[in-house]
Amino acid sequence: MNTEANIVAQLDVVEDTYRRSRLRVMQRIALGLLLAAGVLFAVARSQHGQHPAWGYLEAFAEAAMVGAIADWFAVVALFRYPLGIPIWHTAIIPNSKDSIGKSLGNFVENHFITEDSIVEHVRKADIAMRLGEWLIHPVNSKQVGNATAGFVRQALQQSDGDAIREIIRELTTNELVKLDLSALAGGGMDALVAEGMPQTILDAVLAQVGGWLADEDNHETIGSVMIRSLGIENGMIKSVVQAYLPKVIESLQNHVTEARQDSHHPLRAKVGGWIAESSMRLKADPEWKSAITRYQQQLVHSERVQDALNGLWDTLRERMLADLQGKSPALVNATQGLVEKAGRMLVTEDSARQWLNAAIESISRTLVQRYRGEVTPFIEQQLAKWTKEEMSDRIELAIGRDLQFIRINGTIVGGLVGILIHALTVVL
């Protein structure tokens, strides 16, 4: 299967082949002009003296050959030794590979990779708008959601359960121990008092007690409780207690009814006072706070609670994996919604778009400041991987076809100069 790198390599080969064929065509044309000049020179030389025009053609051809050969030498000397002869100052590019790399790196670093140029291009690109337009598209936002879900799924499947379980247990245990339950309980009771909940709760309790007392099925139980509470063993006294039991129950019912109906009943005041006192002691009494903290630590470090905390990660992991494996994972939908919302914000809100663009420009400027000095070494290192022949070949493929026009122009211009010199000679 072709990867992206393989495809790029294949395209490079095709492009190099195309450039090489065009270079060969231009080289043949330049060589053809040189041979044509040589043939013309031979013909004109053979007709020397037959007509003055042959003198001009001979001068043209002679100068054209000189110009063609001189320019051929100049072009070839850039890339290799002419005819394989190591003439001084030839094969300039391969012999200057290292200095070319350094000079190219310095040029790029000083004239292209500058803070102002990079920031200017970033500003013109309006990356925030482009990003917003990309994110707002449902297909793209869904891709982001699916990618996020895939990453989370893979992370959950490959995660070290024991390590995460231990971390969660320790963190949760530490946080539970740090909780000030005394202050929380006191604050909760204050909130209940502020909302009148104690009286409401008392009404509910009194209603239950009144209903329980009114149920005759409970009277025998009430009598038994009274006898056991008083420690009565004598049968006669038990009979007296059983005889007075209805009046006792009736009296209790009356007290309950009075407390329910009278909003200023002493029982209500006692309950309110007890709650207020308990709230103050919870928040300020060192003994209460110390006792609650002790019970809190015992409870948090108990085996049952620690087992429950150990199971938190397993429960969370199982539920998340079950959701991610469903047809419509909640994480995908939530991520897609957030992505589309972010895209709409970037497209419609100038302030958000300006903020993001400014942040990107600032980051770009910082990156240029930090890494601009590494451009030259990077280019030198890349060019160092090429051999002299590879570098010469790549540059020749890039500009060699254009350089062949120097040979062609040299042939034509040389011939014209030859005609001019011949004409001046004749005149003089």
Over range 385-411, report the average pLDDT.
88
Say if residue 129 is exposed, middle or buried (CB neighbours under 10 Å; 0-12, 13-18, 19+): middle
Q: How far apart are CA 78 and CA 392, in angstroms?
A: 8
Question: From the DSSP assignment, how many helices (H) and strands (E) are in the chain?
Answer: 19, 0
Q: How far apart are CA 172 and CA 178, in angstroms?
A: 10
Q: Which residue has the higher pLDDT, 198 or 340?
A: 340
Q: What is the pLDDT of residue 422?
A: 87
pLDDT at 47 over 90: no
Helix intervals (H) in 47-160: 52-79, 92-95, 97-111, 115-125, 127-136, 138-158
Q: Which residue has the higher pLDDT, 306 or 259?
A: 306
- Could you report the per-residue pLDDT of 209-239, keeping only the tens digit for each? 778 778 777 777 777 877 777 777 777 777 7
Q: How far apart are CA 298 and CA 289, in angstroms?
A: 14
Strongest mean pLDDT among 206-215, 369-378, 414-423: 414-423
Q: Which of 372, 406, 333, 417 is nearest to 111 (CA)?
A: 372
Q: What is the pLDDT of residue 413?
A: 93
Strongest mean pLDDT among 31-35, 246-250, 363-367: 31-35
Q: What percent of the chain has pLDDT over 90?
A: 21
pLDDT at 375 over 90: no
Q: How far apart are CA 209 and CA 267, in angstroms?
A: 14
Q: What is the pLDDT of residue 319?
A: 85
Average pLDDT value for the chain = 84
Give the pLDDT band (50/70/90) at residue 290.
Answer: confident
Structural domain boundaries in the chain: 4-95+386-427, 115-156+330-373, 182-300
- Could you report the per-residue pLDDT of 110-166, keeping only the tens digit for each? 888 888 888 888 889 899 999 999 999 989 998 988 888 888 888 888 877 788 888
Q: What percent of the chain has pLDDT over 70?
A: 97
Q: What is the pLDDT of residue 180?
A: 81
Q: How far apart are CA 405 and CA 71, in angstroms?
A: 10
pLDDT at 35 over 90: yes
Say if residue 293 is exposed, middle or buried (CB neighbours under 10 Å; 0-12, 13-18, 19+): middle
Q: What is the pLDDT of residue 265?
A: 76
Q: What is the pLDDT of residue 13?
A: 83
Give the pLDDT band (50/70/90) at residue 7.
Answer: confident
Over range 297-302, report the average pLDDT.
86
- Could you report the per-residue pLDDT of 60-112, keeping only the tens digit for each? 999 999 999 999 999 999 888 888 888 888 888 888 888 888 888 888 888 88
Over range 419-425, report the average pLDDT.
90
Give the pLDDT band (50/70/90) at residue 374.
Answer: confident
pLDDT at 320 over 80: yes
Distances (CA, A) of 268 to 106, 126, 258: 90, 70, 11
Give the pLDDT band (50/70/90) at residue 266.
Answer: confident
pLDDT at 39 over 90: yes
- Could you report the per-residue pLDDT of 176-192, keeping only the tens digit for each? 888 887 888 777 777 76
Q: How far apart are CA 134 and CA 352, in angstroms?
A: 16
Q: Which residue has the higher pLDDT, 184 or 358?
A: 358
Instruction: Please name the amino acid found at residue 127.
Output: I
Q: Which helix (H) or strand (E) holds 50?
A: none
Q: What is the pLDDT of residue 2?
A: 56
Are 395 and 20 in contact by the 8 Å Cβ rule? The answer is no
Q: Which residue has the higher pLDDT, 364 or 383?
A: 364
Q: Which residue has the higher pLDDT, 185 or 340?
A: 340
pLDDT at 1 over 70: no
